[in-house]
Structure 1
Amino acid sequence: MQQTNITQNDRTHALLDSVMPREQAEEGGLGETVNFALGFLRRQYAVIIFTAALALAASTIYLRITPPTYTGQVKILFENPKAQFVQQQSVLAEIPIDNAQLETQIQILKSKAVATSVINQLGLADDPDFKASGRPLLSVLRGIRGWFGSAPADVQVGRQGVLMDGLVAAFNNRLSAVRLGYSTVIEISFSASNAERAAEIANAVANAYVTDKLNAKFEANRIATSWLQDRLKALGQQALTAERAVNAFKSQNNIVAADGKLMDEQQVTELNSRLVAARAQTSDALARLDRFKTILRQNDANTANASLDASVSEALSSPIINNLRQQYLELSRRERDWSARFGRNHLAVVNLRTRMRDLRTSILDEVRRLSETARSDYEAAKQRQGAIEKQLSQAVSRSRTTNSAEATMRELETSAKSYRSLYESFLQRYMGAVQQESFPITEARVISPASPPQSKSKPKSILVMILGLLGGLALGTGLAFLRDMLDRVFRTSAQVEAMLHMPCVSLVPLLKAAEPKQLHEHADKASDQGTIVRRSGVYWAASDMPLSRFAESIRSIKLAVDLNVTNSSNKVVGITSSLPNEGKSTITAALAQLMAHAGARVILVDCDLRNPSLSCNLAPHASVGLVEVISGECPLDEAICKDPKTNLSFLPTVKKQPLFHACEMLSAATTKHLFDHLRATYDYIVVDLPPLAPIVDVRATAPLIDCFVLAIEWGRTKTDVVQHALHTAPSVHAALIGAVLNKTNMQAIRRYDNYHNDYYSNKHFARYGYTA
């Protein structure tokens, strides 16, 4: 069986190599990408076009129902118009004009104060553009008031506030303010259904913003001047009191400092630096000692298999250990070489291992010596660290008293300096504010007032249509790609060969539902039990239409059976499928009659004991069949039906009652004897088998069948179903000579096989007299 698998795989790889050179040559190139794109468009163009048409229709509907919007625009320049000397004497510091300042002004433009001012000034509460936002809420409030009577005054005020909030929200939704590039110009835009109204509101917003800036600056200057006057008095008294407290504290504690720093502080700083260095030395010594301990634990001399890895010499950086380890490695190499040549018990090999053990011991002794040295260094460093810590502790203890007094003194000095500095700064600003006149000027001015726009700003018809078309194409492509990716069925022979690792021996075309006229001419309605009934013309298409692509595809299956080199005998051919209704019975009947029509002695056996559909069509009046022959109830000759035209023999299966042990019956010794008798009597035995996935009967027939053919329905059978069915039936998989793509749409397959689409053209078959 293993040899059979190897031969089958080799034959499969050879077939793949014969059909793939063109694909491999173009792999990763532009040609493959173009072929894939063209094939994808041929398969899914309907989805893409339909989605794009829907998107265009949606865009058209949107343009129809959306009212036009006009946008008025006004530009404001934000700058500092004050002279330099005026800025220096100003009570309030001038904020520099930067990105943050401009963003702040944009938020002020969108504030509720500006919006409320414009709404009240222009009476926008009654404007049609704002009624949709403010009136529904007002209607609800009025309805509630009608239910419960008149509301108190505070409730009415609250309702007015809610109404105003709705108007402000609607106003801000139509208002936008943006900075133009890197300039200090802010562009204010307002959208309305009327061009004149849009320009009027935009200009009103700009004027309200400038007025608000002037009022805010005047109020800020007035409050700042009043506050400075009161603050100067308090700061003067606080500065005088703080300076007197500093002088009194110095006299009480006899504090004298050189360059503002005491001697105790210098000593503590020096000792602290020394302590840091001592701790670093102690830590290094401890790390080195720990490394020695780790090496000694890992390479204990008492351990029989102790190893000397490269970390010993690399970590210690000892030339002695490096030298000894080089010798050890050389002896180890020689020991392996001599052991292979003279044997492990040879005297020279034993001497080498003795020398290696001595070298290992020497290395470990050197490590122990270095460990003791590291231990001494660590103890010395630890003692130095302790001495410095003791000195530092004493110095800190001595300076605590002095530091406490010094901290208090410095706090007093700092407080006195701060009060004095604040007093002088406030005094300077107050004098400048008193001498400076108030300038009624603001940083913002209108440089381009709004005028009624000539065209609507939105919706832009061309842009909406383009976006709709592009969006529809993108969505359609995405849906088409998803649909293409989810199409996990067999479409081409290359898919069969790549996923199942077996050759696709034939592409059987789909027979049309309307049967040809010539198929009905041979219909036989006789009820003779020993004669095959020609009830369905589909089963006789191979012999009744010999010059058809269907008949040629069946010949391809017969040729694959005859040329199968994996078995010495290919008499018994089993046709199966993964799932029911994949057309295996049709292929079985067509293959058998084609062999019989060629003059061979052929018997067709229906081994689908649970659902004998082939027997129901070819021998509907049979009363005995395969089950009766196996059980010994009747002889073989009485159960066989004949076709007088093709001389085809047929052993049907008569289903009289449900069979609960079909697989045991197929694997019985009497069944094997029956097939041995058929082998001796006929040239070919074509067996119609049940599907693999639902039942296990096919596995029981593996010892009876020389070779299997797997029928796969084109465009319907899932790839993972076939793979799982073959995985659960390894004996059947090993005897498979190939797969057949049944019910193939020869026109549609050209959209999936990009490389060989010209292969399926009818003109090549018509040259030899074949029809579709």
Structure 2
Amino acid sequence: MSIEDREDEDGEAGINPQRIISAVRRRWRIAAGIACSTTLIALTIALLIPNRYEASTTIQLDPRKKNVANLEGVVSDLNVDTAAIESEAEVIRSRQILLKVIDRLDLRNDPEFHRAGFIERLVLPLSSSETKTGIGEHATEAADPVVPRRDEFATAFARNLKVERVRNTLLLEIQFTAADPDKAALIANTIADVYIHQQLAAKSEISETATNMLDGRLDALRKKVSDAETRVEAYKAEQNIFASEGQILSEKELARLMEQTVEARNRSAEMRARFERAKELRSSGRSTSAIADVLESHTVRLLKDKLADASRRRAELATRYGERHPEMVKVRAELGDAERQLEGEIASLISNLENEYAEAAAREAELLAGLEGKKREEANRRAANVRLNELEREAETSRQIYQVLLARYKQNAATQSLQLPDARIVEFADTPTQPAAPKRKQIVILAAAGGLALGLALILALEFATSGIGRPEEAEGLLALEHISSLPRFDYANDEPDDPLRATRLMIAAPSSGFAEAIRSLRREIDVRQIEPGPRIILIAASLPGEGASVVASNLAHYYAQTGNRVLLVDADLRRSNLTRQLAGRRSAGLAEALAGAVPPEHAILRDQLTNLHFLPATGGGPVASGHAELLASAAMPRVLGRLKGQFDTIIIDGPPLLPVIDTRVIADYADQIVFVMAWRRTPKQLARKAMKLLSVNADRIAGVVVNQVAADVLADDNGFELVSDKSDLEPGLAA
């Protein structure tokens, strides 16, 4: 991937677990310090907070029917469902219940529940001073302690109360918190007791209200029933409607009259039939005996028996005597006398039948006339009875309603004092032995965890807030180059930390240090990337000043010289000449004079007797005749380098910074290998990318990137072991 493609990626995307772990290992003291501080503060606060005790009372909502009295429709039992249970919990938390508890226990005089708050404690002295100085409307009155109003007190009191449903049960748990454990238990039990009594009071109030409503309704219905019955009786009297044993009197008379008429008709018909039969027999000349058979009379039967006896005796005497015999005469006389008596009796009976028939006919006519009149009266009565029935129905309806409400009234009045609550206490609150708050252990644990989290967040913020790279290997992804080495930073134990000579000769001063070992590793990486064998020019380049490119070039050159190579270190920074000031001391000529043709390049080279390192300073100390870039870009530059290349195995050039000046880009055209140096966490990623773009035309010669001034603990994380340092001379820390 090219450096141009890398510019489109977010430079902070290199966050990974390994980098986070490394940051924590390097900065763990920050997290530990913050965690210890927050823990100590939390512990102090927790110890200063007074203890609070929580007591719990459990009540059960009882949905079972109570059969003490049937009050259904007046006071119904509690319908227990989720909404009802939550509603009862809110009732317990209601201001009405709490105020009753406060009044019963006289808690308004308890300092725990009306202790002045922070603002009140500030305002109270001002109010007192006004009272003492006579300022204000009530200046003459004594200053009373601040006592909150009932609603404010109830609100403050409610903060200590918690009512919760025990999951999937009909139980409600009343929890109250107070500074005194006995007080907490007393208040929790009192709240439950007041709630149950409130239920009873509510039921009694509803029942009493229903009784009063029924009483008023009964009075109205009683008058209505009385008025309806009065109208019924008045109408009966007006219409002459009377009843006997549940039956109207006119109906009885009509029925009795009809019965009498039927009987009279039957009697008249019977008399008429007997009279006409007897009259017919008599007119037809039938014998007296035949007529007597029709007439049903005891006298007639006796006379018939007498006549029959006389006839029988005459027949008997006729066989013995003649007609003139006295017995025969006597018998004939008796027979004639009997016939006359029978004839007379029959005539009398026929006359009586005629009279009886006439009387029966008259009676029938009389009854028929009376029946017709009574029927007319009954028709009129039935018409009136329609209105009577309507009045009686109204009266009966009013009477039934009155009876129902009267029964309900009697029942409600009788059972008004037998109310049972829909809840009961199943567990009273005991005096708590352990405080419920503050939870000191949890506070300390949470404070420690919070402090640790804050410390870790601060570590990560510090780690990722820098514009530079956090881990050396990030340079590969940032610049699309191989990361060939990471160089640690050091403090000096015996010399001044800013000793420039010591920094450029660390390979000599501390050959056993981690920095020296990193230089050795860097040389190997450069050597294996050498494309063509033979003498070569290695350019050490960096984006900005202060990234340690001169230190890297000097120590790398010293190491090459230690191994017996003919090595030339060239300070090509004609503007700043830092390496020249650190290594050359007195000099009469340098690279600038050699390029200008003032001296041969061999005459400007200095040699270190100890390491056999050859050094070409930037200048001889005088002013440069022409521009720096022009000298480096002149035809003399390749000629000088070519001449020197024939005399040395390795030429290491310390180039000026890439971004401020163009000099290094000119030198890069003559280099066989280029090593790019960037400072750990200091070189901005965007500037590093920009510097690499400037070297893009010589990208094939770039051996890789070196991350300089890396913290020792970061390198230890990467390498898995601690860096070795020469304790007599160096200590890990500040950048070389």
TM-score, normalisation: structure 1:
0.58
The alignment yields a C-alpha RMSD, in angstroms, of 4.8
TM-superposed deviation, 1:481? 5.4
Q: Does 1:148 align with 2:143?
A: no
Q: Does 1:510 align with 2:489?
A: yes
Q: Does 1:108 align with 2:91?
A: yes
Quick one: distance in 2 between partners of 1:757 and 1:426? 102
Deviations 1:225-279 (A, max 9, x none): 6668889999xx9xxxxxxxxxxxxxxxxxxxxxxxxxxxxxxxxxxxxxxxxxx
CA contact (8 A) 2:513 2:723 kept: no
Residue 57 of structure 2 aligns to a residue whose secondary structure is strand
Deviations 1:108-148 (A, max 9, x none): 21122222222233222221212324775877777788643
TM-superposed deviation, 1:91? 2.0
Residue 676 of structure 2 aligns to a residue whose secondary structure is strand
The corresponding residue for 1:571 is 536
Q: Does 1:722 align with 2:691?
A: no
Matching residue within 32, 38, 61 for 1:49: 32
TM-superposed deviation, 1:426? 13
Q: Does 1:757 align with 2:727?
A: no
Quick one: distance in 1 between partners of 2:656 and 2:401? 103
Q: Does 1:91 align with 2:57?
A: no
Q: What amino acid is aligned across from residue 720 of structure 2 in structure 1?
A: N
Q: Does 1:441 align with 2:437?
A: no
Structure 2 matches for 1:335-350, cutoff 5 A? none
The corresponding residue for 2:244 is none
Deviations 1:167-213 (A, max 9, x none): 22220111111122322222212211112222222222223222332
CA contact (8 A) 1:91 1:429 kept: no
Deviations 1:367-423 (A, max 9, x none): xxxxxxxxxxxxxxxxxxxxxxxxxxxxxxxxxxxxxxxxxxxxxxxxxxxxxxxxx
CA contact (8 A) 2:215 2:409 kept: no
Change (3 A) 1:664 1:91: farther
The corresponding residue for 1:68 is 51
Quick one: distance in 2 between partners of 1:506 and 1:37? 21
The corresponding residue for 2:582 is 617
Q: What amino acid is aligned across from residue 112 of structure 1 in structure 2?
A: R
Structure 2 matches for 1:669-688, cutoff 5 A? 669-688=635-654
The corresponding residue for 1:59 is 42
Residue 173 of structure 2 aligns to a residue whose secondary structure is strand
Quick one: distance in 2 between partners of 1:502 and 1:109? 74
Quick one: distance in 2 between partners of 1:226 and 1:563? 112
Structure 2 portions without partners, runs of 5+: 4-15, 225-399
Q: Does 1:706 align with 2:694?
A: no
Matching residue within 645, 650, 655 for 1:689: 655
Structure 2 matches for 1:143-542, cutoff 5 A? 147-150=135-138, 163-223=149-209, 432=408, 435-436=411-412, 437-438=415-416, 439-477=418-456, 479-480=458-459, 494-514=473-493, 536-542=501-507
TM-superposed deviation, 1:688? 0.7
CA contact (8 A) 1:640 1:652 kept: no
The corresponding residue for 2:114 is 131
Quick one: distance in 2 between partners of 1:607 and 1:215? 104
The corresponding residue for 2:258 is none
Q: What amino acid is aligned across from residue 689 of structure 1 in structure 2?
A: G
Residue 208 of structure 1 aligns to a residue whose secondary structure is helix
TM-superposed deviation, 1:79? 1.8
Residue 615 of structure 2 aligns to a residue whose secondary structure is strand
Change (3 A) 1:202 1:606: same
TM-score, normalisation: structure 2:
0.60
TM-superposed deviation, 1:610? 3.3
Deviations 1:60-96 (A, max 9, x none): 2123101111222222222246536955633244441
The corresponding residue for 1:363 is none
The corresponding residue for 2:103 is 120
Quick one: distance in 2 between partners of 1:41 and 1:663? 46
Matching residue within 561, 580, 604 for 2:569: 604
Q: How many residues align?
A: 529
Worse overlay, 442-451 or 63-72? 442-451
Quick one: distance in 2 between partners of 1:462 and 1:550? 48
Residue 200 of structure 1 aligns to a residue whose secondary structure is helix
Q: Does 1:580 align with 2:529?
A: no
CA contact (8 A) 1:68 1:458 kept: yes
Structure 2 matches for 1:25-44, cutoff 5 A? 42-44=25-27
Quick one: distance in 1 between partners of 2:171 and 2:494? 81
Change (3 A) 1:463 1:659: farther
Worse overlay, 505-514 or 576-585? 505-514
TM-superposed deviation, 1:707? 1.3
CA contact (8 A) 2:487 2:515 kept: yes
Residue 432 of structure 2 aligns to a residue whose secondary structure is coil
Quick one: distance in 1 between partners of 2:682 and 2:689? 14
TM-superposed deviation, 1:730? 1.7
Quick one: distance in 2 between partners of 1:121 and 1:634? 113
Change (3 A) 1:502 1:177: same
Larger Rg: 2
TM-superposed deviation, 1:540? 2.4
Change (3 A) 1:602 1:116: same
CA contact (8 A) 2:214 2:409 kept: no
Worse overlay, 223-232 or 547-556? 223-232
TM-superposed deviation, 1:551? 4.1
Q: What amino acid is aligned across from residue 131 of structure 1 in structure 2?
A: H
Q: What amino acid is aligned across from residue 606 of structure 1 in structure 2?
A: D
The corresponding residue for 1:362 is none
Quick one: distance in 1 between partners of 2:683 and 2:405? 90
Quick one: distance in 1 between partners of 2:402 and 2:706? 99
Residue 677 of structure 2 aligns to a residue whose secondary structure is strand
Quick one: distance in 2 between partners of 1:704 and 1:139? 87
Residue 132 of structure 1 aligns to a residue whose secondary structure is coil
Structure 1 portions without partners, runs of 5+: 7-31, 238-423, 520-533
CA contact (8 A) 1:505 1:738 kept: yes
Quick one: distance in 1 between partners of 2:37 and 2:474? 34
Change (3 A) 1:757 1:659: farther
CA contact (8 A) 1:609 1:655 kept: no
Change (3 A) 1:160 1:619: closer
TM-superposed deviation, 1:595? 3.2
Quick one: distance in 2 between partners of 1:83 and 1:229? 25
TM-superposed deviation, 1:709? 0.8
Quick one: distance in 2 between partners of 1:459 and 1:144? 39
Q: What amino acid is aligned across from residue 554 of structure 2 in structure 1?
A: A
Q: What amino acid is aligned across from residue 739 of structure 1 in structure 2?
A: V
CA contact (8 A) 2:160 2:177 kept: yes
Deviations 1:521-548 (A, max 9, x none): xxxxxxxxxxxxx971332232455565
Q: What amino acid is aligned across from residue 201 of structure 1 in structure 2?
A: I
Q: What amino acid is aligned across from residue 427 of structure 2 in structure 1?
A: S
Quick one: distance in 2 between partners of 1:655 and 1:111? 95
Residue 505 of structure 2 aligns to a residue whose secondary structure is helix
Worse overlay, 441-450 or 104-113? 441-450
Q: What amino acid is aligned across from residue 537 of structure 1 in structure 2?
A: R
Quick one: distance in 2 between partners of 1:168 and 1:425? 48
